[in-house]
Amino acid sequence: MIDATAATLCMDNNLPIVVFKLKERGNIKRIICGDRVGTLMQGKMEFQLQS
């Protein structure tokens, strides 16, 4: 779970967020070792207003 402020700070600073099942045994170790686990969210969201 992540709050809106943390998500915004990550997006503003181009920091990736990995969303994964925390209770699944070994997932934290797999992520630290560089394995692809869960969903990677990255990049900056930009919106344009249409006039």
Domain residues of the chain, as ranges? 4-41
Structure confidence by residue, pLDDT tens digits, 10-34: 888 888 888 899 999 999 999 999 9
Mean pLDDT of 6-12: 86
3-class secondary structure for the chain? CCCHHHHHHHHHCCCCEEECCCCCCCHHHHHHCCCCCCEEECCCCCCCCCC
Confidence of residue 6 (pLDDT cuts 50, 70, 90): confident
Tell me the per-residue pLDDT of 36-45, one tens digit each, with 9 for 90 and over.
Answer: 999 888 866 5
CA torsion sign for 25, 31, 36, 38 is positive
pTM listed for this prediction: 0.61
Looking at residue 42, its pLDDT comes to 80
